[in-house]
Chain A
Amino acid sequence: MGTPTRIILREDEIPTQWYNIQPDLPNPLQPPLHPETGEPIGPEELAPIFPMNLIEQEVSQQRWIDIPGPVLEKLATYRPTPLQRAKALEEALGTPAKIYYKNEGVSPPGSHKPNTAIAQAYYNKEFGIKRLTTETGAGQWGSALAMACSLFGLECKVFMVRISFDQKPLRKLMMQAWNADCVASPSNETEIGRRILAEKPDTPGSLGIAISEAIEDCVRSDDTRYSLGSVLNHVMLHQTVIGLEAKRQLEMVGDYPDVVIGCAGGGSNFAGLSFPFLYDKINGRQVEVVATEPTACPTLTRGPFTYDFGDTGMTTPLLPMYTLGHDFVPPPIHAGGLRYHGMAPLVSRLVRDGLVEPRALHQNDCYESAVLFARTEGFICAPETSHAIATAIHEARRAKEEGKEKTILLNWSGHGLMDLSGYEAFFRGDLVDLALPEEDLRESLKGVEDLPKPK
């Protein structure tokens, strides 16, 4: 009998420690500087919004951090998650590659996000906090935190951007089922919300306003703190259970990945799968680690108007290649990372240090891949997850062309059952890739015209 389709760990095999990559970074993470004082931001400045035990994790240099028993107990409601071999997808592609996916869609809210929501709820409760506030767009993070607060008996207040509140009523109901108080933002419950509503009663809101409301609500009360589901170091830390489990599951079948792939929005699901493998890479093991994102709104690769050109064909945005031909490879113009700041600092650091390769993909490619995955493996993925699937398919096809065996591991970060409108647009043929007019192209290339051209 060959490799099993589902590789399952026992409940007592959930990792008991998180992996903190900070002490292993080739170049340490620099704290952000306070804009007024120019001094590094210290932990005490974050204390009004985060409990000190989480702030300590944020700056910790301890490589392995014990997962508290109550957190393990709650994680066990859906962990360990299965590692699955995509045999039908491999067959459809006719590839010699083996494709494994870590199925984080089995959690109650349907994504990886509870891995940190549960930990954050626990640490807040331990610190004496009674209530958490947060913001949410479509509701993935809001529902994960709502569930976690419910499990630990904390109150939860979610400010949901009004346009999302109106468009995603089912997520709102999920949060309600988990006992969270979910209100449309801007709301009448904060000063900033009231001011905005007074000026524009019909405003659809924005994520910026929702964050402002959540923070204002938090600072009004001593027993309330704010919670964030991406970007911060402790969020990345909590997600490493994904990769730690995956490593153990691959060991069970005597395998190890050649390529590890995750989609990178705020960075947390990518970090969760990849950091334990990056530990091996930093210690000399050969493994390729790829972070994928859309060509529209890229964070790690480059914006269309401020490209860092100059990596391989697969990773360079298609625009200049398509328009100017394959001989034209403009040089890097801001490799320091103008566009890196929307991403988790840890992930950005790893990209800059060359340990992680970012790739950008067009949306039609991603949806085609998601649909192929659904038709072969059965699971319908979240739109973000489709980027990882598309990259895995590229790798598998490349392995076929080269006639090489290859082991590919991707993070199947969440299901798309609450988010099917993107599929609808794809099926209607409404998604457009690359239709940039000449005048925009000329304008976008002005920034590089004075720089030396490669030979």
Chain B
Amino acid sequence: MLEEHDERRRRCARLGHEVTFRYCRTQEGESLCTRILDCWWETFGVRAFLAEHLGEDEVRRLQEHERPDKRLSILRMLEEARRRIGDSEADP
């Protein structure tokens, strides 16, 4: 069952307070937190669990995920924000 571990809780290093496992696997509504394996490995077999429910490819993608340089992330977000603002101004 995908919800099996949803009520487990641990401190999120990024947010600075406790979150449930459910938050980590659904945080943005569409994707897993990219740190989900790193954060939960001490608590239960999160890798096997995710592989069972999401498939091996998804887990490998998470394992291979490289955190981008913060400056690059900010620039990417800057470009996306400009695009959004441009879209909204062009679409009254």
Q: Which residues of A contact B (CB under 8 A)?
A: 32, 34-35, 41, 45-46, 48-49, 137-140, 161, 163-164, 167-168, 191-192, 196, 199-200, 203-209, 211-212, 215-216, 218-220, 226, 228, 231-232, 265, 294-298, 303-306, 338-339, 341-342, 345, 362-363, 383, 419, 421-422, 425, 430, 432-437, 439-440, 443-444
List the B side residues contacting A425 at CB < 8 Å.
9, 11, 18
Residues A440 and B45 in contact in the complex (CB < 8 Å), given A215-B81, A303-B37: yes
Q: How many residues of B contact A (CB 8 A)?
A: 50
Q: Which residue of A lies closest to B59 (CB)?
A: A443
Most buried by A among B37, B42, B68, B84: B42
A383 adjacent to B11 (CB under 8 Å): yes
B37 adjacent to A304 (CB under 8 Å): yes
A296 adjacent to B41 (CB under 8 Å): yes
- From B15, B38, B46, B80, contact of A163 by CB (8 A): B15
Residues A209 and B28 in contact in the complex (CB < 8 Å), given A49-B78, A220-B85, A232-B71: yes
List the B side residues contacting A435 at CB < 8 Å.
42-44
- In the complex, 26 of the A-B residue pairs with CB atoms within 8 angstroms, ordered by the A residue number, are A137-B14, A138-B15, A163-B15, A163-B19, A164-B15, A168-B17, A191-B85, A192-B84, A206-B27, A207-B15, A209-B28, A211-B74, A215-B81, A216-B84, A216-B85, A218-B81, A228-B74, A296-B10, A303-B38, A304-B42, A305-B37, A339-B67, A425-B9, A436-B41, A440-B46, A444-B47
List the B side residues contacting A296 at CB < 8 Å.
10, 13, 38-42
A421 adjacent to B77 (CB under 8 Å): no
Q: Which residue of A lies closest to B28 (CB)?
A: A206
List the B side residues contacting A339 at CB < 8 Å.
67
A297 adjacent to B71 (CB under 8 Å): no
Separation of A326 and B38 alpha carbons in the complex (Å): 23
- From A41, A137, A436, contact of B42 by CB (8 A): A436
Closest 8 CB pairs of A and B: A138-B16, A137-B15, A437-B45, A216-B81, A191-B84, A341-B67, A304-B41, A32-B69
Knowing that A137-B15, A296-B13 are A-B contacts, what are 17 other residue pairs whose CB atoms are under 8 Å apart, sorted by A's residue number?
A: A41-B75, A45-B75, A139-B16, A140-B16, A191-B84, A228-B74, A296-B10, A296-B41, A297-B35, A305-B37, A341-B68, A342-B70, A383-B11, A419-B16, A440-B41, A440-B45, A444-B47
A163 adjacent to B23 (CB under 8 Å): yes
Separation of A140 and B15 alpha carbons in the complex (Å): 10
B47 adjacent to A138 (CB under 8 Å): no
List the A side residues contacting B27 at CB < 8 Å.
204-206
Residues A204 and B71 in contact in the complex (CB < 8 Å), given A137-B17, A303-B37: no
Separation of A138 and B17 alpha carbons in the complex (Å): 6
- From B14, B23, B48, B82, contact of A443 by CB (8 A): B48
List the A side residues contacting B41 at CB < 8 Å.
296, 304-305, 436, 440
B17 adjacent to A212 (CB under 8 Å): no
Separation of A436 and B80 alpha carbons in the complex (Å): 39
The smallest beta-carbon distance between B85 and chain A, in angstroms, is 6
List the A side residues contacting B33 at CB < 8 Å.
206
Q: Which residue of A lies closest to B15 (CB)?
A: A137
Separation of A419 and B23 alpha carbons in the complex (Å): 19
List the A side residues contacting B16 at CB < 8 Å.
137-140, 164, 383, 419
The smallest beta-carbon distance between A171 and chain B, in angstroms, is 9
List the A side residues contacting B72 at CB < 8 Å.
32, 34-35, 41
